Structure 1
Amino acid sequence: MSLRSRARFFLPKNPFVGLSLTYGWIRKIQETRIEQERVPIRSLSPEDRERRLRYWRRTERQNRVIGLIVFGFLIADVLVVHDVLAAIGTIGAGIFVGAHWYYAHRMGQLLAENTPPTKDAVSS
């Protein structure tokens, strides 16, 4: 069997179909997008607001713990391993985790700030 016939075996019959093996998965994901709409925070129900606030606080805690672990790896890279490339990669991972932590922190702040006062707080 020649190299050309072996290569033809792997090529799709339809030239307009993507060559990637995951093309079908990507197309299926793109076709099943969930419609999103922006909802003002004040229009959320108190239960939904609390659920979202718990989610963002939990995400913030998780990212803080991951950030501490990454910081531990950075200290190990600098003091024990003495590998500059590993330290640069760890700093990049720390920036990535830090950005996620900041986003979760900011979302929690926005939800907490825009929570309308309860009737008990207003009457006091």
Structure 2
Amino acid sequence: MDIYDSISWKERKFRNRSILPPVASQLGPTGVFHATSTIVEARHRINSARANEEFPPLSVQYIIDQQTERDRPNIDREALFRLLIDHGTVAVHEYSILGRRGEERWKPRWSLPPEMSLGLIHLLMDS
């Protein structure tokens, strides 16, 4: 689990910028509708909390991994990551291109407060 103490320069650089094409349609219309409204609210709460330094962000990748392995092992994790990026809720800390032989092509790490992450992931997986 990765804990970040403050907003890094990479996060500021990539905030509100989509680096991947949208794939929200893969998650289904109901899930996308609920996720969109929740993500907008989450963004507002995140920005307010960060301004007041109420909590350190938690790795969303870790939470998605934990939730999907237990609840939905076949869900498209890449689609979840991309949907979160497209709505500007999470920021890129780092990503790397890995090998092609059975490994992930990209492995981003996102930051989001734990209480926000779990709610968003559950909504996305319920689609």
Normalized per residue, which structure has more strand?
A: 2
- TM range, smaller chain: under 0.3
The higher relative CO (CA closer than 8 Å, separation ≥ 6) is in 2
Larger radius of gyration: 1
Normalized per residue, which structure has more helix?
A: 1
